[in-house]
Amino acid sequence: MKNGSLKIFSLIIVLGLLLIPKTSNGAFSDPQMIITWKADSFIPHWYKGRAMPIRNSNIKTSLVMVDNGKIIDLSQYEIRWNGDNGIFEKGIGFVNFSFELDKLISQPQNLTATIVGYNGENIKKTITIPVLKPEIGLETNLNRILIEKGGKATLRALPFFFNINNESSINIKWTVNGKILTKESGEKLVELTVPKFRNERFAIDLLAENRYQELEIASETKYFNSNN
């Protein structure tokens, strides 16, 4: 695991320790399981939010057990990972687990981790992983003055959450008022010559598709007029 990921997981664990409730005499309550997950879907390098999973995204999970304020070594315990349709995987010390999300949009994935035989009991924790759809954002410097006078405007496509490694795997199609500005290509930054519009509304449509997964599609439409 990369150093950055280790730091993130460590921070989550520390926060989890702070939130674990104590009994009235100051002792910690029952053992607590912490499950973290990470989706491998694409986000721009500048984006500070979380990469969200879509169908067929690869999900990496990690399990930590905290008991009496201490992180427990689980290397000798059998760990079972269960999904909605039964056991995914199991094994001794199996605290890290990866799987492909085979769910439709708006059908969240329930994931249960079980530690077998901890202090004579099977300890369980269930989390729910959402399933979203890919998104495409449209960024432009187009404004009222540019529309009124005519000129050059830049249009930039911003893909999110596709199952890709880089933006070159995305087909982009730009349309202005129903007229194709570019054929399907990898052009995420294009220049538009804006005619002079007077109280006339026009639309910019953007369609993005994963070159290798034709069902991964996102679209965005923005409307402009000289009164914006």
pLDDT of residue 197: 56
pLDDT of residue 164: 95
Give me the average pLDDT of each 10-residue run along the chain (228 residues).
44 48 53 96 95 96 95 96 88 95 88 96 96 93 68 86 93 85 67 65 88 93 71
pLDDT of residue 201: 72
> Which of 188, 192, 191 is CA-nearest to residue 170?
188
| Beta-carbon count within 10 A of 78 CB | 16
pLDDT of residue 14: 46
Q: Please name each of the domains of the chain with its CATH number.
A: 3-129 (2.60.40), 135-224 (2.60.40.10)
pLDDT of residue 179: 81
State the DSSP code for 108.
P
* Strands 109-118 and 121-129, sheet pairing: antiparallel
Chain length of the chain: 228
pLDDT of residue 227: 52
Query: Alpha-carbon distance 171 to 160, whole Å?
Result: 13
Residue 124 CA to its chain's centroid (Å): 25
Query: Alpha-carbon distance 5 to 11, whole Å?
Result: 10
